[in-house]
Amino acid sequence: MAKYTKIFAHRGIMDEYPENTIESFERALELEVDGIETDIQESKDGHLVIIHDEKVDRTTNKSGWVKDFTLSELKRMDAGYRFYGCRSDFKIPTLDEILSLLIDRGFNGELNLEIKNDRIDYYKIEEKVLRLVNKKKCPFKIIFSSFNYHTVARMHHLDNNYEDAQLFRIFKRKSVKMLQQHTIQALHTNIIGYHLNNFKNINCVNRIWMVNKTISIKYCLNKYADAIFTNHVREAQLLRKKIQGY
């Protein structure tokens, strides 16, 4: 059992700022979060960009697939348009920019990088991510995660100095096999999966995503889950203080 449950800012502080923007991550740093979670896609010209969806429609003033736009085109989009319902100055950042921000601000928590390779097979994105991360010499812990089993296994094969985690909604025995083979070191499931599965019998780190309702936050805190990914960091921090005394 964990001494306390770590709280990860899911795509930054997305209940205050547009998700996966520099400003959202800066706010997470102000709140001194234990961890930050974000998502990596790839632009048409091979740049690693920070955006959750494979398409830009939900979060920007444009429409289309991320993979069909160059970095310059993505940078001209308004990443706060859907959040505010009007024009804004928020931009889609690159992975390089986010890593530089965290390094410059002295971040000493954990950064979870989800490689969005489950719907679109970005060619050798694993190598590109590792090349950049290793080049930046990040002083904080980095966790790689994906719903794509092959991506997780490939990350481990390329560089086993990082923690690799399997994302899933419905628990599969394949994850246990990957744990036994030390291909992964952590399981990331949603709140329903955490409730339905007995993780006490599995010796690994368990982090729970989509923990946004008050009842769900309390449930995970009372169970002393290793970590939660939440859109409501301040509420989770207050509840942790009350329930776990931390």
In the set 10, 156, 188, 232, the catalytic residue is 10
Pairing label, strands 110-115, 141-146: parallel
Alpha-helix residue ranges (DSSP H) falling in 114-161: 125-136, 149-158
- The helix (H) or strand (E) run that includes residue 15 is none
Is-catalytic flag, 52?
Answer: yes
> In a 3-state reduction of DSSP, which class is residue 241?
helix
Between CA 148 and CA 131 the distance in angstroms is 20
In the set 52, 156, 188, 232, the catalytic residue is 52
Side-chain half-sphere CA neighbours of 33 within 13 A = 31
CA neighbor of 77 nearest in space, from 106, 43, 127, 108:
43
Angle, vertex CA 31, rays to CA 26 and CA 33, nearest 5:
95
End-to-end CA distance of the chain: 15
Distance set, CA 114 to CA 34, 37, 84, 213 (Å): 17, 7, 26, 22
Annotated catalytic residues are: 10, 52
